[in-house]
Structure 1
């Protein structure tokens, strides 16, 4: 298996990995509020370098990470137990996990709708998924963030696409590409996978850069 992140793993760890005190996008706040305290294993799909393992442990969960990139897992394995694999084919039995988190990775996964179905399969009935991702309405190849006080949204939001187009060379999209789903299509993916949507959060100001969702596997699904 080859992964786009293998080539940038060292750069990501050195320059891009979120630090404990940096929560400008309110990612950590969203995980705290939507996942909350718990116990038992919590799988992070697309765990990357394991940036959020400490937070999951702090909340009482036992983090387990999965990622396609061996380069990223080289850093992650010092932070949490990890397995290398494809998120569309989760190596877990049906209905065994109480919680799953997906943090800033859905645009990295062209098959994310299938990933959601796989997560639903491995969650217990009533198990929780917390999805934290870039905001589909305001972040993508159609959005110019050169001026954060006046973000420019160009045509393209309604087009389901994958692109490397980016307003900056300091981010990830120009290096590894990103998939895009308009908001209704993304939310329908949760419903089609058998999730009940419970809570939402947005992060950053004055224009949100992240959208977070807490969804629960409906009892009787499977």
Structure 2
């Protein structure tokens, strides 16, 4: 993704520094919902690979894919990576026990197709962990200028892509983001053959993160057309 190529150095050097203490609970949600395990854990949209260390600590073997060559340049050394489209993963059907998508679903206008690919590559009963910005409290419609409150303006129900943001210190104003209302997001899980099982939120006093753990449902496996 060209937009992320352009900001990769800023993201690695400045943006991630502000997230080091996990202020919105991304790492906490990842640990809680992924849990301990073994085998390959594929991260779609892995970016610079900053979550690989946590995945390893939990016993998994991290592997990542991302479209941005600039972001992957920083990921080398943190985990094995491939430049690939999350909507067309270079993996066989039923080939991995776990998949992650961490703070990337708003970067993927075709996220329902990505979820279908996740379901395809997961082993039967495999685990998918989605950690993303909270649909109800983050977006072009949400003004978070006041740390103690969020002002929600019209637009939540629309679903759209925008660079509109309450801050110039984040990602949305630089690369834009897609918005998925909560029902559309959760229904995309079900339509892909993923059964949500556990949820958690992160960030205070108003959540910034919504995370979902889902399992691939037996009998709903999809083979990608060749």
Give 1:64's aligned residue. 63
Q: CA RMSD in A?
A: 1.1
Deviations 1:139-177 (A, max 9, x none): 000000100212100000000100000011110001000
CA distance in 1, matches of 2:167, 2:3: 18
C-alpha displacement at 1:221, in angstroms? Answer: 1.7
Residues 1:18 and 1:103: Cα distance change in structure 2 (over 3 Å): farther
CA distance in 2, matches of 1:148, 1:155: 20
Tell me the SS of whatever aligns to 1:93: coil
Tell me the SS of whatever aligns to 1:60: coil
CA distance in 2, matches of 1:175, 1:22: 23
C-alpha displacement at 1:19, in angstroms? Answer: 7.1
C-alpha displacement at 1:18, in angstroms? Answer: 5.4
Deviations 1:166-203 (A, max 9, x none): 01111000100000010000000000000111000000
CA distance in 2, matches of 1:176, 1:135: 18
CA distance in 1, matches of 2:3, 2:112: 20
CA distance in 1, matches of 2:9, 2:152: 32
C-alpha displacement at 1:21, in angstroms? Answer: 4.8
Give 1:96's aligned residue. 95
Contact 1:37-1:61 within 8 A present in 2 as well:
yes
Structure 1 residues 38-77: aligned runs within 5 Å:
38-77=37-76
Give 1:206's aligned residue. 205
CA distance in 2, matches of 1:41, 1:209: 28
Unaligned stretches of 5+ residues in structure 1: none
Tell me the SS of whatever aligns to 2:126: strand
TM-score (norm 2): 0.96
Contact 1:65-1:82 within 8 A present in 2 as well:
yes
Tell me how many residue pairs correspond in the alignment: 221
Contact 1:18-1:51 within 8 A present in 2 as well:
no
1:123 matched to 2:122? The reply is: yes
C-alpha displacement at 1:24, in angstroms? Answer: 1.3
Give 2:174's aligned residue. 175
CA distance in 2, matches of 1:18, 1:103: 17
C-alpha displacement at 1:48, in angstroms? Answer: 0.3
Contact 1:130-1:213 within 8 A present in 2 as well:
yes
Give 2:194's aligned residue. 195
CA distance in 2, matches of 1:53, 1:220: 31
1:158 matched to 2:157? The reply is: yes
Give 1:138's aligned residue. 137
More displaced 10-residue stretch of structure 1: 23-32 or 201-210 = 23-32
Deviations 1:55-92 (A, max 9, x none): 00000000001000000000001100000010000000
Tell me the SS of whatever aligns to 2:11: helix
